[in-house]
Amino acid sequence: MSITQPQTGVDDSPDIPAELFDSERSRIAVLLMNTVNGSPAAAQEFAKRGCPLSYRSVIWRRILGIRVDDIDVMYYDQLKTHVLQHELLVDSLVYKDIKLTATNDDQYFVFEDYLYQVTCPFSYYYVSVTVAEP
């Protein structure tokens, strides 16, 4: 990082016209997204200067080598539904763990509820797998 290299999320202030930086970063993000077998290293290098919000999930999936299809999204939605329908002991354990972690760290406490909403469905994975088997 240097002062001559603007950062997404840092340098997108009202003082700097958005056309100078955002449009170029968005153009590069679209190029990375449209490349079928794009390099994770290229995506990682792009992310070092920040990702526009609308492309973050795609760029991070590319960096981590994760492919998310409709079945994965549907399965996650099912897990979220299980969380709403059933209450397990593990729910309170996850909540307490997040509460302890998030309240002691200024970077995470604002995301406390979001962390709970995202992590709780993953605690239901084992339950849904064991229930589904005969």
Q: Answer with the one of 8, 41, 64 that is the final residue of a domain.
A: 64
Residue 64: CB atoms within 10 Å: 10
Q: Judge whether residue 71 has pLDDT over 60.
A: yes
Domain containing 109 equals 70-132
- Say what the pLDDT of residue 120 is: 85
Residue 8: CB atoms within 10 Å: 20
What percent of the chain is modeled with pLDDT above 90?
A: 1
Residue 12 lies in a domain: no
* pLDDT greater at residue 105 or residue 94: 94
pTM of the model: 0.56
Give the orientation angle of helix 56-64 with respect to helix 40-47, to 10 degrees: 130
Residue 31 tokens read as: 């190029």
pLDDT tens per residue, range 56-65 = 888 888 888 8
Total domain count, the chain:
2
Residue 71 tokens read as: 């079945």
- Say what the pLDDT of residue 119 is: 85
